[in-house]
């Protein structure tokens, strides 16, 4: 639950998505659309504490997979909402950055691998950053890119540092 909330909070606080590959390559048009429909929206909605806006980036049947369980996005959003409400009460603010090591994007399906860095800052100004590897399967749904499956791995700063900026 905390990891999911962190993703939401991180993504909302950044203005743009940082996508990288092992070797410089032009960004596919589909990647630009995915950034606009998904990653930039997540960044903005986390910063704003807008759970409904974040929910709109997921396909209605989306699944979240982590190291110990799987859950429907519907159940996950309930937990995230509770975490967002608690953070707001406590004065915690989060930011997120994304880096992608691989983006296999086509006209209506995509698979992306990378990481997100989630930084939580308490009301007292103490910041903690976690680095979470992820994989996402996306589909074009009703004319917009949506996350169908998001898999989060245990955090790893070393892996984050290896992906070029």
Residue 13 confidence (pLDDT): 37
Question: According to the model, what pLDDT value does residue 12 have?
Answer: 38
Confidence of residue 5 (pLDDT cuts 50, 70, 90): very low
Report the Cα 155 to chain-centroid distance in Å. Answer: 14
Q: Which pLDDT score, from 0 to 100, does residue 119 have?
A: 87
In the predicted structure, residue 8 carries a pLDDT above the cut 50: no
Other CB atoms within a 10 A radius of the CB of residue 158 amount to 7
pLDDT digits (tens, 9 = 90+) for 68-114: 899 999 999 999 999 989 999 999 988 888 889 999 999 999 999 99
For the sheet containing 144-152, what is the strand order? Answer: 70-72, 58-65, 144-152, 127-141, 109-121, 93-105
- What are the tens digits of pLDDT across the range 134-156? 999 999 999 999 999 999 987 67
Q: Which residue has the higher pLDDT, 153 or 34?
A: 34
How much is the mean pLDDT over the chain? 83
* pLDDT for the residue numbered 155: 67
100: CB partners within 8 A, 6+ apart: 19, 20, 21, 112, 113, 114, 163
Residue 162, pLDDT score? 76
Write the CATH number of the domain with boundaries 2-162: 3.10.450.50
Instruction: State the pLDDT confidence band at 163, using cuts at 50, 70 and 90.
Output: confident
Other beta carbons within 10 Å of 157 = 12
C-alpha 84/C-alpha 131 separation (Å) is 19
């Amino acid at each position: 639950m905390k990891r999911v909330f962190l993703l939401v909070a991180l993504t909302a606080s950044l203005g743009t998505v940082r996508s990288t590959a092992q070797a410089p390559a032009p960004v596919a048009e589909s990647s630009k659309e995915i950034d606009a429909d998904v990653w930039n929206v997540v960044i903005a909605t986390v910063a704003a504490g807008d759970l409904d806006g974040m929910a709109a980036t997921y396909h209605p049947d989306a699944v979240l997979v982590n190291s110990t369980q799987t859950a429907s996005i519907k159940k996950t959003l309930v937990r995230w909402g509770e975490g967002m409400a608690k953070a707001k009460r406590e004065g915690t603010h989060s930011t997120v950055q994304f880096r992608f090591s691989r983006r296999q994007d086509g006209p209506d399906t995509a698979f992306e691998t990378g990481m997100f860095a989630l930084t939580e800052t308490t009301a007292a100004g103490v910041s903690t950053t976690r680095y979470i590897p992820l994989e996402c399967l996306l589909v074009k749904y009703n004319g917009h890119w949506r996350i169908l499956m998001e898999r989060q791995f245990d955090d790893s700063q070393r892996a984050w540092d290896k992906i070029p900026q």
